[in-house]
Amino acid sequence: MQQWIRDILIHVGENPDREGLVETPSRVAKVYEHILGGYKFDPDEILRKAIFTEHVNHMVIVRDIEIYSLCEHHMLPFFGKVHIGYISINKVYGVSKLARAADALARRLQVQERLTQQIANAIMGPIAADGVGVVVEAKHMCMMMRGVEKQNSMMTTSAMLGCFRDDAKTRAEFLRLIGK
């Protein structure tokens, strides 16, 4: 990867041997390994390690989970927030594991639409939830830096499963509680 970065620097007209760029190929390689580190983690495994029995049957919501990802079309960042809600009978997740699972999926080459659905599916399965709602709001650098260059654009996607999809009142409660 470092050689490729060096070749890109040459291709755009830079001197990869000048002082400020000598270590750039190494730094960029490390950045990509970190940003795309989600391939090393299985969100199902993350979630299964933190399932607890509690006598509950109400909605659990974690909102404003910060995420960042890379658009698979341009390899430019998109970043924003994930809001997650679920209803399960007598099973709950450790709250930090919801954020970790979202991160594991976001730290891959993605499109926001698929990411939203993947997060919902990951949460639904291990506890056989009655329903899951996921809303992702993100700014896309491919919209802001190139093409149409719209600085204030925000993309919102949602995935509703089970009772969040089938019951308008449950869906409305979730959206109201996350401020949408």
Among 71, 110, 118, 137, which one carries the catalytic annotation? 71
The single residue of 2, 14, 117, 142 carrying the catalytic annotation is: 142
| Known catalytic residue at 74 | yes
* Residue 20: CB atoms within 10 Å: 8
Active site residue 163: no
Residues 6+ apart with CB under 8 A from 74: 141, 142, 146
Residue type, 116: T
- Say which amino acid occupies 152: N
- Residue in 134, 46, 52 with CA at minimum distance from that of residue 92: 52
Would residue 140 show up in a list of annotated catalytic residues for this protein?
A: yes
> Catalytic pick from 23, 45, 66, 72?
72
Instruction: Spot the catalytic one: 83, 112, 118, 137.
Output: 112
Determine whether 71 is an active site residue: yes
CA distances from 64 to 112, 136, 137 (A): 16, 9, 9
Residue 49 gets the label, from left (phi > 0), alpha (psi -120 to 50) or beta, of alpha
Picking from 60, 129, 67, the residue whose alpha carbon sits closest to that of residue 95 is 60
Question: How far is C-alpha 39 from the chain's CA centre?
Answer: 13
Identify the active-site residue in 14, 74, 117, 173.
74
User: Is 58 noted as a catalytic residue in this protein?
Assistant: no
The catalytic position among 110, 137, 140, 163 is 140
Q: Which of 23, 45, 54, 73 is catalytic?
A: 73
Q: Which residues are catalytic?
A: 71-74, 112, 140, 142
